[in-house]
Amino acid sequence: MSTTNHLSSASGPGRPEPSGTAYPPPPPETPAERKGRMIALFVMPFLIVTMMYATYMGTMHDPQPSDLPVAVVGEGATAERFAEELEAGSDGALDVRRVDDVAEAEELVREQEVAGAITVPAEGRGATVSRAMAAGASQATLVDRALGAAAVTQSWQVETVDLVPLPEGDGSGTMVLFAAMGMMLAGYVPLSAMLLGTPNLLRVRRFLPIAVGWGALTSSLVWLVLGPLVGAVDGHYPLFLGVGTLAVTAVATAQLLFTKVLGPFAVLLGMLLWVVLGVPASNLALSVHAMPGFLQWLHGVLPLPAAGEALRSAVYLDGAGFWRHLGVLAAWLVAALGLAVLKERRSGELIVGGPLYTDPGAPLPALSGGPVAPYRRRVVAVALFPLSIVVTVVTLMSLSMHQPDVHDMPVAVVGPAGAADRVVDQLEPGLGEYLDLRVVGSEDEAADLVRSRDVVAAYVVPTVEGASPTLVTAGGAGASQQSAVTQMFAAVAAEGGTDLATQDIAPLTGDDTGGSNSMYVGMGWIMAGFLFFAVMRGGAPDLTRTRQLLPLVAGWSLGISVWLWFLYDVLIGAVNGHALELIGYGTLTVFAVAWASATLIRVGGLGALVPVMVVVMLAGVPASGGGLSLYMVPDAFRPLADVLPLPAAVDLARSVTYFDGTGVGGNLLVIAVWGVVGLLLNLLLVDRWLNRPGARPHAPMGPRHRPERAGKGGSGGAALAGAAAGPVG
């Protein structure tokens, strides 16, 4: 039955309020309306998981440079010919321009007009490749590969110059990404909670000053985490305050506009623009020149790239392009504010799908699905919920990834009796701080250790004098650790006057060039698990028995696992084959994580999503080795690799894809324990707690403002899902 706006009010058009203190409850839900509500509760997490991991897997499984701007420095026919050959041979990967002198080229690099430059050498000299790590570590790597390879084809010696190096506290160059992510979350996450808990604050004249103050608070906290706490940035508080306040206010105002148009489903559009598309378009993790063309265009349009690039420009690049990026944020703010005012004047202050009763005394919950709460408690919840998300995401991601540092990386040394021990003794003074060297008796044993991921690599000492040593690695176990260990032992071989031979016993596929596919597979399963109960808790709080939820969770687990395999394999082509294994392991993972998450979410409501997200997702990202190697993140995350569900899920996908199932038993055991314990706790404790005598009922799920007839649905905890999308590239 559709609720009509029949209540009179003296408080303004389009904003009916009940007279006195009576708030008539909504009419009983019809079977058709209940069916529509339940369908919506499945559609919401399906859309969130799909758009997030379709985008990340689709754009990051095989990044290839496209139109990467580079400069060739030199005069005369030689430089002209080299520039032409460089662009022609790149097959569209490079956009080459020629400049006459080094100073001009270096200025172009600093101003981010070009990603790098190569100086054509005079006779008897080597070529110089110039780039700026502070403009993006991924972009600098692309420059080194492209220009370095071109120099090698000309038989030139190459010297690499870093014009703007990264500071020690931000070795990965991702500080600006984490800052911008925090600002986006601060901007869009609060709106879903405000719509259902404090709708009276969504009038434009009230919302704007709140958004400005909120922006100042959250940007200050982001700086506090990244600066004094983590040490990724030194000073620059006024910069963070100014850029952050503008970015948060702009995103919040745009999300207010979306909410006025779409109601609870505005979270989907907001998440898509601010996070899902914003991260790959940002140029802050992977180079935007390795992304599809439409993301390169979005780099100049979306707020996340604008906020991150503005910070990077001011902190590292002497302000090059700073005002252009601020202009993007200002344009979003002005346009969204004007449109929100027009929408409010045209449609009134009530929001489609939002509460019909909006005054502070209305019977509304603090968070969706909870009991009726006093107004002050609702205000506190609306503030603390997104604040805890912002602080948690920025803190955990920056602590774990801002300064990758190799330590205790296990490497086997293989050689004749006594020779391997001598090599270890020789390597310990220089590499002992970084590597955990162990002697192994045979090459077969060492290869088995590499396959089982007990060691990262095996260094095979040559048995013939003058022969090259061999380094055995597995790219499928992690690209970052393979690269790091190869660089170290290449230097060792060079000191001995030989080249290093390499053997990759589990090479990455052509559809997984960065080695990140297993991480996205695992993260998709994990998010599908905890997000399902987040949405159910917000939109179906009347389901209080495990037996009611069990068939729903089972069906969801199987259905979403089939869909994710189809998405990754058939539609995107990033994961080839292994359908039964991936669907089966995915179903178990989604089911187990759902029930483990339900233990807290069903008891604590949506507020419990923050600790759930920390345990099942955020802490598991650095512990999984899916992006950075486990041996390149702080020691605190290493023990978590053996107990958390995300590392187990990532390693399941990795084992199936690259190692013929080696190690799946232990990972399945970890996930099964989480599922069994979670299910038992829900059956034995949570059900009793929710159905105990005197338990407070959930707040009325209506009446809602519905200008036209529509099915019922709830956004539940969907706004939280964007926090689980961190940059890992």
Asked if residue 63 has a cis previous peptide bond (ω within 30° of 0), the answer is: no
Average pLDDT value for residue range 497-509: 93
CB 506, CB 447: distance < 8 Å: no
Query: Domain spanning 68-165 has what CATH number?
Result: 3.40.50
Name the residue among 620, 527, 500 with its Cα closest to residue 49: 527
- Its pTM stands at 0.91
d(CA 56, CA 282): 13
Does the pLDDT at position 492 exceed 70? yes
The reported pLDDT for the residue numbered 25 is 84
Phi and psi for 287 in degrees, rounded to 5? -60, 135
* Domain ranges, ordered by start, for the chain: 68-165, 169-364, 409-504
Q: What is the pLDDT of residues 185-211, one digit of tens each?
A: 999 999 999 999 999 999 999 999 999
SS3 459: strand
3-state secondary structure of 694: coil
% of the chain with per-residue pLDDT over 90: 81
Can you tell me which residue has the tokens 């095996």?
458
Contacts of 375 by beta carbon, 8 Å cutoff, 6+ apart: 198, 360, 361
| Contact indicator for 219, 245 with CB cutoff of 8 Å | yes
**Fold equal for 68-165 and 409-504:** yes
3-state secondary structure of 353: coil
Take residue 708 and report the two structure tokens written for it: 């036209």
Report d(CA 536, CA 517) in Å as an integer: 29
Higher pLDDT: 5 or 432? It is: 432
Angstrom distance (rounded) from CA 223 to CA 244? 9
Q: Quick one: which of 658, 581, 585, 670 has its CA closest to 626?
A: 658
- The reported pLDDT for the residue numbered 720 is 42
Provide the pLDDT confidence category of residue 482 given band limits of 50, 70 and 90: very high
Mean pLDDT, to the nearest integer, of 291-312? 95
Cα(52)–Cα(280) distance, rounded to whole angstroms? 11
Please compute the mean of the pLDDT values over residues 419-435 and round it to a whole number: 91
Structure tokens at 22: 């009576």
Question: Where is average pLDDT lowest: 18-22, 240-244, 431-435?
Answer: 18-22
- Residues 148-181 have pLDDT tens digits of 999 988 889 999 999 999 998 898 899 999 999 9
> 470 phi and psi, to 5 degrees?
-120, 135
Q: Which two tokens stand for residue 690?
A: 């929710």
Nearest CA-CA partner of 183 in 231, 249, 127: 249
Section 536-562 average pLDDT: 95
Confidence bin at 573 (pLDDT 50/70/90) = very high
Length in residues, the chain = 729
How many angstroms separate the CA atoms of 92 and 210, rounded?
48
Span 239-274, pLDDT tens digits:
999 999 999 999 999 999 999 999 999 999 999 999
- Which CATH architecture best describes the domain 409-504? 3-Layer(aba) Sandwich (3.40)
Give the residue ranges of DSSP H helices in 263-321.
Answer: 266-271, 293-298, 303-316
Going through 94-253 in order, the beta strands assigned E by DSSP cover: 94-99, 116-119, 127-131, 158-162
Can you say whether the dihedral through the CA atoms of 703, 707, 711, 712 is positive or negative? negative
Residue 718 has pLDDT above 60, yes or no: no
Residue 177 DSSP SS3? helix
Judged by DSSP in three states, 29 sits in: coil
Phi–psi pair at 130, nearest 5 degrees:
-115, 135
Give the pLDDT of residue 706.
Answer: 81
Nearest to 243 by CA among 143, 176, 190: 176
- Asked if residue 669 lies in contact with residue 685, where contact means CB atoms within 8 angstroms, the answer is no
pLDDT tier for residue 708 given thresholds of 50, 70 and 90: low
Please tell me the number of Cα atoms within 13 Å of 409 on its side-chain side: 30
- Of 716 and 133, the one with more pLDDT: 133
Look over the chain and give the mean of its residue pLDDT values, rounded to a whole number: 91
pLDDT at 627: 86
pLDDT in tens, 76-117: 888 999 999 999 999 999 999 999 999 999 999 999 999 999
Instruction: Check pLDDT > 90 for residue 522.
Output: yes
> CA 287, 289, 293: angle at the middle one, nearest 5?
130
pLDDT at 21: 54
Strand order in the sheet with 470-473: 435-440, 409-414, 457-460, 470-473, 501-504
Q: Tell me whether residue 679 is exposed, middle or buried, using C-beta atoms within 10 angstroms of its C-beta: 0 to 12, 13 to 18, 19 or more.
A: buried
Looking at this protein, which amino acid is placed at residue 50? T
Q: Quick one: tokens of 325?
A: 């990026």
* DSSP calls for 578-622: -HHHHHHHHHHHHHHHHHHHHHHHHHHGGGGHHHHHIIIIITHHH
Residue type, 133: M
Half-sphere exposure of 140 (CA within 13 A, CB side): 21
- Model pLDDT for residues 654-692, shown as the tens digit of each residue: 999 999 999 999 999 999 999 999 999 999 999 999 999
Rounded to an integer, the average pLDDT of 707-715 is 49
